[in-house]
Amino acid sequence: MSSDEIIQIEDLEVRLVKSVRAKHILLKQNPKGEILLTCPRFCPKMMAIRFAKTQVPWIRAHIQYAPKERVFKPKDKVAILGKEYVLQQGHPMGPKDNVLVVSGEASFFHRRVCSCAQKILLSYLQKKVTELTNKLNVKSGRITLRNTSSRWGSCSSTRNLSFCWKIAFAPKEVVDYLVSHEVAHLVHMDHSPKFWGLVDTLTDHRVFAEKWLKKNGRELQSIR
């Protein structure tokens, strides 16, 4: 269990998180760019604040270089599963050649672009999961999209697979790797050598995908 609140450290906003799992006071930046001040549940608030005040230069530097929130606008170019589209407001909504047409009011444009990207992604995920589960002669449960900040994908004990919808804006090779990773969990619910060996039989893109996500993951998370 954990609880959190926004606190001010000088002129900076920091999210104070009290967690039963925390053993020490520590600072980190989450994929959304927020600064988290995490401390044990019964740690006095002022003790955590005093620690944070000693780290103001670190906080400023990380806030300064955090990716700015990305908002899609007409005429923007955006890659979905590696295919580049020019965004256009109009009707009917959906991809057409190299144009992604988005209908509705201008104030909903960004949201509609994300909705289109999710539909394209989900359709691809369903096909890719079917391909790989057939190859392994296993079955998966439901496939869902979620708005997660700490995981790109997951496999539940009930064999349901979920993926962060923002991977729609990653290259197809990255998505293929993430699908391979979660499908492999249908056979090995761990990260043992056998698991990684199975992943590597399902995709050739593991090294590329891991490097790409490490480099570009925070920018993906800047899409709201």
pLDDT in tens, 19-38: 888 899 999 887 677 889 99
C-alpha to C-alpha distance for 110 and 70, rounded to whole angstroms: 9
The confidence score (pLDDT) of residue 224 equals 82
C-alpha to C-alpha distance for 138 and 28, rounded to whole angstroms: 39
Mean per-residue pLDDT, 199-218 = 95
C-alpha to C-alpha distance for 105 and 97, rounded to whole angstroms: 23
Give percent of the chain above pLDDT 70.
97
Number of residues in the chain:
224
- Of 72-76, 78-82, 92-96, 155-159, which range is least confident? 92-96
List pLDDT tens digits, range 137-175: 999 999 999 998 778 999 999 999 999 999 999 999 999
Domains of the chain: 2-64 (no CATH), 77-221 (3.30.2010.10)
C-alpha to C-alpha distance for 144 and 67, rounded to whole angstroms: 27
| CB crowding 163-190: b at 16 or more within 10 Å, else e | bbbbbbbbbebbbbbbbbbbbbbbeeee
pTM of the entire structure? 0.77
The confidence score (pLDDT) of residue 132 equals 98
Average pLDDT, the chain: 92
What CA–CA distances, in Å, run from 163 to 111, 152, 171, 172, 212? 18, 6, 15, 14, 17
C-alpha to C-alpha distance for 214 and 95, rounded to whole angstroms: 29
Burial class of 135 by CB neighbour count within 10 A (0 to 12, 13 to 18, 19+): exposed
Residues 116, 94 contacting (CB under 8 angstroms): yes
Mean per-residue pLDDT, 65-72 = 80
Pick the residue with more confidence: 76 or 70?
76
The confidence score (pLDDT) of residue 212 equals 96
